[in-house]
Structure 1
Amino acid sequence: MKNLLWFLFGIAGGFVLAHLMDKDPRGHEILADVDARITEFTDRMGDAYREQEARFAGLVDDVRDAAADAVGSARAVASDVVEKVADAADDAADKLTD
């Protein structure tokens, strides 16, 4: 609990110090520079995130297409096998009835 109190005291002190610095023209300039750097950093991080998200979306789409193709091929092979087995069964039945 004591650590939490010191933490909150530090945050409040930081806000008071920033407010006092903002009143001074030099301090205002420093805070504006810090704000510009933070904004630039967050913009770069956001751009990088969106770029990675687009790359992953493309990979997911490629995997989805490959899986759909594999399922389609497996379905076609299974259909051919079933057809050949049915033909073989019909031929065997015809030989037995002859």
Structure 2
Amino acid sequence: MKNLFLVTVGVVIGFAVAHQFNKTPEGRRFFGDLDGRAKTFRAAVVDGYKTREAELRGDQAA
């Protein structure tokens, strides 16, 4: 139970620090870049999933 409490406190502190950092121009740039990379990664995963799904179904027009 103590470990769960410490993890929760760590997450709350992390969010608070990230929020303060996001208020700076460098922070906004950092989080914008991070968001762009996450979207690119997500798009690649979705594309790979759809391609593999089409291969398994035998559908070549994906």
TM-score range relative to shorter protein: 0.7 to 0.9
Question: Which 4+ stretches in 1 moved above 6 angstroms?
Answer: none
Aligned-CA RMSD value: 1.3
Structure with greater helix share of residues: 1
Percent identical: 36
Match of 1:5 in 2: 5
Match of 2:17 in 1: 17
Give TM-score scaled by structure 1 length. 0.56
Shift of 1:42: 0.9
- CA deviations on 1:26-84 (whole Å, 9 max, x unpaired) are 1110111111111111111111011111111118xxxxxxxxxxxxxxxxxxxxxxxxx
Match of 2:32 in 1: 32
Letter in 2 for 1:29: R
Give ranges in structure 2 of 5+ residues lacking alignment.
none
1:43 corresponds to 2:43 = yes
Give ranges in structure 1 of 5+ residues lacking alignment.
60-98
C-alpha separation in 2, matches of 1:7 and 1:36: 28
